[in-house]
Amino acid sequence: WAPKAGLTWNYVLGNDVDVSKEKAQVVDMDINKSIETINKLHKAGKKVICYFSGGTIEDFRDDADQFTKVPGLVKNTFEDWPEERWLDYRIEAIKPLIEARMKKAVSKNCDGIEVDNLDGYQMDEVKTWKKPLTRNDAITYAKWLATTAHKLNISIGLKNTLGIIDEVGDYFDFAINEECVKYNECKRYKNFISKNKPVFGVTY
């Protein structure tokens, strides 16, 4: 799926989407939503983006134990979300776990994926680590995510993470941004717009 700028979208935060009332062309929802819902959206002519976090692990995920048993991978709590902990994504053992999530998205017929929390290197909790994540670590990981997604024939969006957009933007098919108007950051997406890639924005 190679999305173009100008598409309408809906960010489904919480309950299931009502397919019969959905007006947006693109629907973004959690990877745990049912394949039946995704198939209904496809039948209604919609594209579906499936969300998961690639920089944190949420306690309620069915694969959480796979992450916690890798030595050193799961770190301290994400201050804003107490059920999430940061991941040291430099550890090689994360790759098959994230790839399994991508394959899950493919198996559910998701058209694209939204991988959250790649900007851990900017967060105060991560800066307390003995060896914190760096900007270069985020660039390396983001490029790996995009390359791996494309090998699996699924599109991938860059979620926020504006600190590395100039280095990794070309690897991604679309962008998702929270609050760029509030923080006067929308102009940072000029390269996406000039290449006719959509930037899906949300303001809370």
Residue 177: give its domain's CATH number. Answer: 3.20.20.70
pLDDT digits (tens, 9 = 90+) for 72-110: 999 999 998 999 999 999 999 999 999 999 999 999 999
Residue type, 117: N
Domain that holds residue 129: 9-202
Q: Is residue 57 part of a domain?
A: yes
pLDDT digits (tens, 9 = 90+) for 123-158: 999 999 999 999 999 999 999 999 999 999 999 999
Q: Is residue 2 part of a domain?
A: no
> Cα separation of 90 and 46, whole Å?
35
List Cβ neighbours of 135 (8 Å cut-off, separation of 6 or more). Answer: 121, 163, 164
Q: Is residue 93 part of a domain?
A: yes
How many domains does the structure of the chain reveal?
1
The DSSP secondary structure of 129-147, one letter per residue, reads SSS---HHHHHHHHHHHHH
